[in-house]
Structure 1
Amino acid sequence: MGPLSLLFLQTILILGRAPVGRSASGGGDEEEYWGMVRREGKQFVVGGGRQPFYVNGFNAYWLMLLAADESTRAKVSDAFRQASSVGLTVCRTWAFNDGGWRALQKAPSVYDQDVFKALDFVVSEGRKYKIRLILPLVNNWEGYGGKAQYVKWGKAAGLNLTSDEDFFTDPTVKGYYKAHVKTVLTRVNTFTNITYKDDPTIFSWELMNEPRCLSDPSGNKLQDWIQEMAVHVKSIDSDHLLSTGTEGFYGISTPEKLSLNPNPVAGQVGTDFIRNHKTLGIDYASAHIYPDIWISKSVSNDFLQFATKWMRNHIDDTESVLRMPVVFGEYGVSSKDEKFNATFRNVFIDAVYSTLLNSTRRGGSGSGSLLWQLFPEGTEYMDDGYGVVLTKAHNTSNIISLQSKRIQIFNSRCSWKCHWSCKKKSPSHPHLHREL
C-alpha cells in the first residue's frame, strides 16, 4: 500500500463524513437516535455522540435467502419481531451469495434483481423493527460461494489461478470483489428508496466472514488485502463503520500472545488480531468464540474458562493497544455435541454476557456480542446445531432479555466523556451512575 493511497484514505476519513447523527429521512429525536452509529475511541455512540451504543445481537445469515421466496418471506419478519421482543438490537446477516442456487451475484457484476430486492426487504424490515445490521460482503468458506467461487470465475475467464487463496492477490479477482462492494454500497433500496451507504439501519460492513489465508502464515497476504479493501470501502462509504470479520486469532506480529490461541494451528492461518485491526480504515475489532470447535474435547468447565479468558484478553488488547471497541460477532456451542445441552448453552451465554458487562460497567471496549444463531419456528431444518428458537427456549430467551435490559440502561446514559457532568438522567433510574 503506497503513501498516496494511505493519504487518500486519511483524507476521506477526515473530510468525507456526513454530520454526526444525521439520518437519511430527516430530523427529530427518534431520527437522531436512528442516525449512523459512530465510534468515539473505544466506544460506539449514537445521537450526535451523546449516547453510548452497546450491542446485544444475533446472527441470521439466511435472511436474504428466505426473503427471496414469497412463501418464506414472512419468516424474516418473524425473526426480527422475536428478536426485538427480547431487546436484541443488531443482526449479522450475509450481503452475498455468489454463484449456485438463488445467487445474488450469478457472475462477476451480474446480479439477480429479485434476490437483491430480497436483501432490500431484509434491510427495510431491520429498520421497521429497529434492529441494525452487520453485513459481511463475502465468505471465506464455500457456503454461499465464497472466495472459492471468485477464483472459479477467474479460472473461467482464463486466469492462471492455482489456489482459492489467489482471491487475496490476483488483480482481476480482487477487481471482482471491489465491484461487488461498490454495487452493494451504492444500491438504492427498492422498499425505502435509501442508498445503502446512507442508511443508518446498517450498523457496519465486514470485509469478509472469517477470513483465513493458509498459504501465508506470515499474514502478509491477508494484511495487504485488508488494507487495500478498507481503502476501497471507505472511498465509497466513509460514514459506516467497518470491521474485518476475523475470528480473533493472534499472529506472528505478537509472538508473546500466540499461547492465548485455542490451538497451535490458529496462529498459522494467516490472521493476526492486533495487526489486522491496526489497519487504517478499520473501526472496530472482530472476534468469534467457538470453544467446542477450537479446543480439545474435555470437561465443560474448560470451555467456559477458555471463553472468558479469550474475551478478557481481546478486551484488554482493544483497550490498551488498539484503543477501539471489540464485538464478538459469533459465539455458541453445538447441541449436536453430546457434551452440550440447553442447560450448558445457557451457562455459556451467561458467561459471555457477564464478561461483557464487567467491561461495560467501567466504560471499557467490550462493546457487544452476537449469538450464533436465532431461528423462528418453522426454519429449524436449517439448524446447524447452534440454533435457538426463542419461542421454544424460554430460559435462553429470559437470559437474553435480561442482558438486553441491562445493556439498555447503559445505552440510555450520556457518553462516558460527560459521565460525571451529564444532567440527562433517566427519571426511572436517577442513581444509574452508582448502581451499575
Structure 2
Amino acid sequence: MKLLTLALALTLTLTGRDISEAAPHHGHDSAGYVKVAEDGKGFTRNGEPYLIRGANYWQGMNLGADECSGGDRHRLEKEMKLLVNMGINNLRVMASVEGPDDQPVRIRPSLMYAPGEYNEGVFQGLDYLLDAMGRHGLTAVMTLNNYWQWSGGFAQYVAWIDKNQTAYPFPSENEGWDEFTKYSARFYNDTEIYEEAQSMWRKHIETVISRRNTINGKIYRDDPVIMSWQLANEPQEGPLSWFEETSAFIKDLAPNHLVSAGLESKLDQYDFNRAHTPKDIDYTTCHLWVENWEIYDPSNESSIEDAMTYADDYVHSRAQWAAELNKPIVMEEFGMARDAWIKPGDEDFKYDPETPTAHKDRYYKGIFDNIVTLAKKGQFSGSNFWAYAGLGRATDYPNQYGMVWVADPPHEKRGWYSVYDKDTTVKVIEDYNAQLKALEEK
C-alpha cells in the first residue's frame, strides 16, 4: 500500500498536481458542487445561480480512452474547446457500458465486459473525460445504467442472470420492441431475479463512485465536476421502491452530489411523480422525441407545426408537474432529424451531414425560448440537447471496434440526431446559452 501511495504521489508530482488538492477527504466543504437552491427552484454552484447549458455527449468516455481501446483524446480535447465556445457548461455522459463485446448494435468496447470485470482502458477514458471537463469548467451528469440495449443496460444484467439466455432480444427498426421492453423491465420487475440483479448493479455503482481518477488522483465521490449520479437512461415505469432504494444507496455513497432518475416523463403525472417524489431524487427530468413518438414526420414540410405545438405544451406541462413537487426540472434530451422534407422520397437524405437543418433550428429555438421564459420565473433549470457529434461525421470510417463516434448510438442510423460542429444549429444553441448565462448574472 505504501508503494502504491508513493507511486501515485510521484505521478501527480510529475504532472504538476498537488496530491493534497487532487484527493480531498470525503465530507470536505461544498465548494464547487452543484446544489439545489434552498427554495427548490433551481441550482446553485459556489453560492451563485447555475442554469444547465448542456449537451448529451454519451461517447465521451470512449473518446477519452487510449487508442488501443478505441479512443481519440486529441479529438476530445478539440471538442471540449468547441463546447465551451458554444457556452456549454454541462455534459450528460455514460458511466456504464455492459458487454460482452461480441454483441451487435451496442457500444464497443464496453466498460464492464462481464459482471465485476472491467476494461481498464475504457475506465481510464472516463477518468480522462472528467479531468478534461474539470479543466474546461464543465460539470457532468453520470448515467449509471440504461433501459435500452445500445449500452448493454438492464437487459444485459438480465441476460447475465438468465443462464438460458445467450443474448437478449434485439429489436429491429420497426418490430420486436414489446418483447425487448418486457425483457429489459425484468431488471426491476421480476421478483425471481430482482435481488441478484440489483446486487450486481450496486457493486458497479460502488466501483464507479469510489474510483480514484488515474489522471488527477481525485476520488469520484469527492469530485465537484460530477453534478449528478443518474440511476438510468429512461427507466420505463420502474417501481417506486426501486427509485427510493437506489437513490438512497447512491446518496449514502456520494452525499456531496445530486441524484437524478433519468426519466423521459413521456407518460402521465402519476408516472412522473413515482420517479421524482423520493427524497433522494434531487431534481426532475424530461425527454422529448417528436419523431420517435410519431408527432413529427421529417418528410412532411408542414409537420413542423405539429412538433412546435406539441413541444410548447410538453415543456409547460412538465414544468408545472415539477413545480408541484418543488424540485428543479431539466429537459435533458430532445432532438430532430435534418430536413428530409426537401427530398421526401430519399430516406437517406435526412442522415446526410450536408442536408440543411431549417426545421431542427426552428424546433430548437422554440424549445429554448420556452425554457428561457420559464427560467426567468424560476420554473425551469436548463437543458441538454441530443446530441453533440462535434468533429465526427456519419460518413467517417469505423475504428478497429466498428464504432463511428457520432451522437447517434450504435443501434440507430448514423446522423439521425447528431449536431455537428459546422451545423447552423450551433448558432441557435450559442444564442440560447448566452441568454441563460445572462440570467445567471442578474
TM-score by length of 2: 0.75
Distance 1:407 1:297, change over 3 A: closer
Distance 1:33 1:74, change over 3 A: farther
* Cross-structure match for 2:104: none
Provide the C-alpha distance between the structure 2 equivalents of 1:188 and 1:156, rounded to a whole number of angstroms: 33
Cα drift, residue 224 of structure 1: 1.9
Judge conservation of contact 1:336–1:385 (CA < 8 Å) in 2.
no
Cα drift, residue 355 of structure 1: 0.5
* Cross-structure match for 1:242: 259
Judge conservation of contact 2:296–2:306 (CA < 8 Å) in 1.
no
User: Which secondary structure does the structure 2 equivalent of 1:327 belong to?
Assistant: strand
Provide the C-alpha distance between the structure 2 equivalents of 1:385 and 1:34, rounded to a whole number of angstroms: 39
Cα drift, residue 378 of structure 1: 3.5
Q: Which amino acid aligns with 1:174?
A: Q
Q: Which amino acid aligns with 1:204?
A: S
Matched, 1:137 2:140: no
Judge conservation of contact 1:186–1:197 (CA < 8 Å) in 2.
yes
Greater shift after overlay, 282-291 or 396-405?
396-405
Distance 1:171 1:129, change over 3 A: same
> How many equivalent residue pairs?
355
* Cross-structure match for 1:43: 42
Judge conservation of contact 2:388–2:418 (CA < 8 Å) in 1.
yes
Provide the C-alpha distance between the structure 1 equivalents of 2:79 and 2:373, rounded to a whole number of angstroms: 29
Matched, 1:152 2:159: yes
- Where in structure 1 are there 5+ consecutive unaligned residues? 1-22, 213-218, 255-271, 414-436
Greater shift after overlay, 116-125 or 332-341?
332-341
Match of 2:310 among 306, 310, 325: 306
TM-score by length of 1: 0.76
Provide the C-alpha distance between the structure 2 equivalents of 1:202 and 1:366, rounded to a whole number of angstroms: 21
User: Which secondary structure does the structure 1 equivalent of 2:388 belong to?
Assistant: coil
User: Which secondary structure does the structure 2 equivalent of 1:78 belong to?
Assistant: helix
After TM superposition, where is structure 1 displaced by more than 4 Å over at least 4 residues in a row? Answer: 23-27
**Residue deviations 1:116-152, cap 9 Å, x none?**
1111001001111111111110111111111111111
* Cross-structure match for 2:223: 199
Judge conservation of contact 1:34–1:201 (CA < 8 Å) in 2.
no
RMSD: 2.5
- Where in structure 2 are there 5+ consecutive unaligned residues? 1-19, 102-107, 169-181, 298-302, 345-349, 351-355, 397-405, 407-413
Provide the C-alpha distance between the structure 2 equivalents of 1:243 and 1:143, rounded to a whole number of angstroms: 21
Match of 1:351 among 346, 360, 366: 366
Cα drift, residue 297 of structure 1: 4.2
Match of 1:329 among 327, 332, 335: 332
Cα drift, residue 156 of structure 1: 3.4
* Cross-structure match for 1:317: 321
Q: Which amino acid aligns with 1:398?
A: K
**Residue deviations 1:302-323, cap 9 Å, x none?**
101101110011112211x110
Provide the C-alpha distance between the structure 2 equivalents of 1:197 and 1:337, rounded to a whole number of angstroms: 45
Distance 1:140 1:73, change over 3 A: same
* Cross-structure match for 2:390: 376
Provide the C-alpha distance between the structure 2 equivalents of 1:287 and 1:342, rounded to a whole number of angstroms: 24
Distance 1:289 1:38, change over 3 A: same
Provide the C-alpha distance between the structure 2 equivalents of 1:354 and 1:33, rounded to a whole number of angstroms: 32
User: Which secondary structure does the structure 2 equivalent of 1:58 belong to?
Assistant: strand
* Cross-structure match for 2:87: 87
* Cross-structure match for 1:68: 65
Provide the C-alpha distance between the structure 2 equivalents of 1:83 and 1:402, rounded to a whole number of angstroms: 13
Distance 1:104 1:285, change over 3 A: same
Greater shift after overlay, 395-404 or 238-247?
395-404
How do 1:136-285 and structure 2 match up within 5 A? 136-156=143-163, 163-169=183-189, 170-212=194-236, 219=237, 221-251=238-268, 254=270, 272-285=271-284
Matched, 1:54 2:69: no
Provide the C-alpha distance between the structure 2 equivalents of 1:355 and 1:128, rounded to a whole number of angstroms: 31
Provide the C-alpha distance between the structure 2 equivalents of 1:359 and 1:245, rounded to a whole number of angstroms: 21
User: Which secondary structure does the structure 2 equivalent of 1:203 belong to?
Assistant: strand
Cα drift, residue 26 of structure 1: 10
Provide the C-alpha distance between the structure 2 equivalents of 1:81 and 1:157, rounded to a whole number of angstroms: 47
Provide the C-alpha distance between the structure 1 equivalents of 2:23 and 2:62, rounded to a whole number of angstroms: 31
Provide the C-alpha distance between the structure 2 equivalents of 1:180 and 1:301, rounded to a whole number of angstroms: 44
Provide the C-alpha distance between the structure 2 equivalents of 1:88 and 1:134, rounded to a whole number of angstroms: 13
Distance 1:296 1:353, change over 3 A: closer
Q: Which amino acid aligns with 2:368?
A: Y
Q: Which amino acid aligns with 1:404?
A: N
Distance 1:370 1:122, change over 3 A: same
Match of 2:117 among 106, 110, 119: 110
Provide the C-alpha distance between the structure 2 equivalents of 1:405 and 1:62, rounded to a whole number of angstroms: 25
